[in-house]
């Protein structure tokens, strides 16, 4: 993690979000049990686990929609119980599955709501809303004047993301934000969200029950189990490669090995110099930074023993099955 990320806007250091010894009980039901969790600045953390394992409760305690029974929660170095909840939520965007758009307001007005609430002029709020709609892939000229019921589920969710980003909050909490859409649209929304996240560098905590989504999106993944217990908090590669218990191994599934291919990226260190490899051995090339799975898919599609790797216009070398093995082993060591 980039050390400069560990500094807040007002010079605060340390993680952006810190939960220490946090528990929540609802009339005898333990929803979250003795949870310690740090989220670094600019990090995207996914909370994953079966239904009822305390993921949403954890999220809602961060913006004080739910008060913890015990423990402390700090956001940007401040104990959230000492911050006025309205003030607190200004710095924390919240996206939920049922997007909660105002049904009788146009897309553009929905997206302008938050900047207007904070006293921006109408012109500034509109300009900001248009910029954000572009960012989430909705042309404001085409979609701005529509009402929510005139959009698809995926488009509505994009508007929800745009609206949450409108206040430019440093922290974004997302509860199953891509849950209600079909798998193809969902994949596209996930990719777009990753691009936006890289561009905007927000600190994000995202709840999902889908392990594939968690390892695809998360810099780190927190796996919750029965009784609101945190079972493992790790990078996707380590979670899939070294599940901490049988319970985690069962949850990540028997195909965890295959998933590791999709969470490990091709780096220069995995690539062999091109000398000695006949050009005929190369099929299509892939770019540095694609997943090992994508590189393997090209190899299999072209029925070749290796795939060429490029870095923009530059040819870097070839990736072989041995290189893929090295990359998988290396991903576990590097993050150990
Ligand atoms: N307001 C409430 N009153 C009583 N019990 C609650 C309340 N909210 C949650 N619970 C209970 O707390 C536990 C954790 O719920 P939570 O919604 O945090 O789980 P989750 O992991 O987000 O589940 P899901 O994936 O189904 O949304 C569950 O047993 C749930 O029934």
Tell whether 13 is covered by a domain. Answer: yes
Tell whether 328 is covered by a domain. Answer: yes
pTM of the model: 0.79
Could you give the CA distance from residue 18 to residue 74 in angstroms, rounded to a whole number?
A: 5
Residue 30 β-bridge partners: 25
CATH number reported for the structural domain that contains residue 318 in this entry:
3.90.1280.20
The answer to whether 268 and 315 are in contact (CB under 8 A) is no
The DSSP line for 51-64 is TTSSHHHHHHHHTT
Tell whether 220 is covered by a domain. Answer: yes
Q: Does residue 276 share a domain with residue 246? A: no
Q: Does residue 200 share a domain with residue 85? A: yes
Identify the residue with better confidence: 145 or 283: 145
pLDDT tier for residue 275 given thresholds of 50, 70 and 90: low
Tell whether 133 is covered by a domain. Answer: no
Sheet strand arrangement including 70-75: 29-39, 17-26, 70-75, 78-79
Q: Which of 54, 60, 68 to mutate to test the pocket of ligand 1 (most atoms within 8 A of CB)?
A: 54
Tell whether 159 is covered by a domain. Answer: no
Residue 263 pLDDT? 80
Domain stops at, among 261, 280, 315: 261
Could you give the CA distance from residue 59 to residue 61 in angstroms, rounded to a whole number?
A: 5
**How many angstroms is it from 68 CA to the middle of ligand 1?**
13
Residue 1 pLDDT? 41
In this structure, the residue with its CA closest to atom 5 of ligand 1 is: 26
Q: Does residue 326 share a domain with residue 222? A: no
Domain stops at, among 261, 276, 303: 261
**How many angstroms is it from 52 CA to the middle of ligand 1?**
5
Tell whether 126 is covered by a domain. Answer: no
Tell whether 141 is covered by a domain. Answer: no
Domain that holds residue 285: 265-334
What are the pocket residues of ligand 1 if the criterion is a CB atom closer than 6 Å to any ligand atom? 26, 29, 31, 49, 51-57, 209
Q: Which ipTM value was assigned to this complex?
A: 0.96
Residue 230 pLDDT? 97
Residue 259 pLDDT? 77
Quick one: tokens of 250? 């069962």
In this structure, the residue with its CA closest to atom 28 of ligand 1 is: 52
Residue 3 pLDDT? 42
Mean pLDDT, residues 287-299:
89
């Amino acid at each position: 993690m980039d050390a400069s990320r560990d500094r807040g806007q007002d010079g605060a250091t340390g993680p952006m979000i810190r939960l220490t010894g946090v528990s929540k009980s609802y009339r005898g039901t333990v929803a979250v049990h003795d949870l310690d969790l740090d989220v670094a600045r600019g990090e995207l953390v996914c909370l994953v686990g079966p239904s009822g394992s305390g993921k949403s409760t954890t999220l809602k305690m961060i913006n004080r929609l739910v008060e913890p029974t015990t423990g402390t929660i700090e956001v940007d170095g401040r104990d959230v119980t000492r911050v006025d909840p309205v003030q607190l939520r200004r710095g924390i965007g919240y996206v939920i599955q049922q997007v909660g758009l105002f049904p009788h307001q146009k897309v553009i007005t929905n997206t302008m709501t938050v900047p207007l609430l904070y006293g921006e002029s109408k012109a500034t709020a509109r300009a900001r809303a248009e910029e954000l709609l572009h960012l989430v892939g909705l042309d404001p000229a085409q979609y701005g004047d529509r009402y929510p019921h005139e959009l698809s589920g995926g488009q509505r969710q994009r508007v929800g993301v745009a609206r949450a980003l409108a206040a430019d909050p440093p922290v974004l909490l997302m509860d199953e934000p891509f849950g209600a859409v079909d798998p193809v649209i969902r994949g596209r929304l996930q990719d777009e969200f990753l691009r936006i996240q890289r561009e905007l560098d927000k600190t994000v905590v995202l709840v999902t029950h889908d392990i594939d989504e968690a390892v695809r999106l998360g810099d780190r993944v927190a796996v919750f189990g029965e009784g609101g217990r945190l079972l493992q908090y790790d990078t996707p590669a380590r979670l899939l490669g070294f599940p901490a218990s049988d319970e985690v191994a069962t949850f990540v599934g028997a195909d965890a090995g295959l998933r590791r291919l999709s969470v490990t990226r091709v780096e220069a260190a995995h690539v062999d110099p091109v000398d000695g490899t006949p050009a005929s051995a190369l099929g299509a090339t892939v770019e540095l930074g694609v997943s090992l799975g994508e590189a393997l898919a090209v190899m299999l599609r072209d029925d070749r023993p290796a795939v060429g790797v490029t870095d923009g216009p530059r040819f870097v070398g070839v990736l072989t099955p041995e290189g893929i093995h090295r990359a998988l082993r290396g991903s576990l060591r590097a993050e150990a």
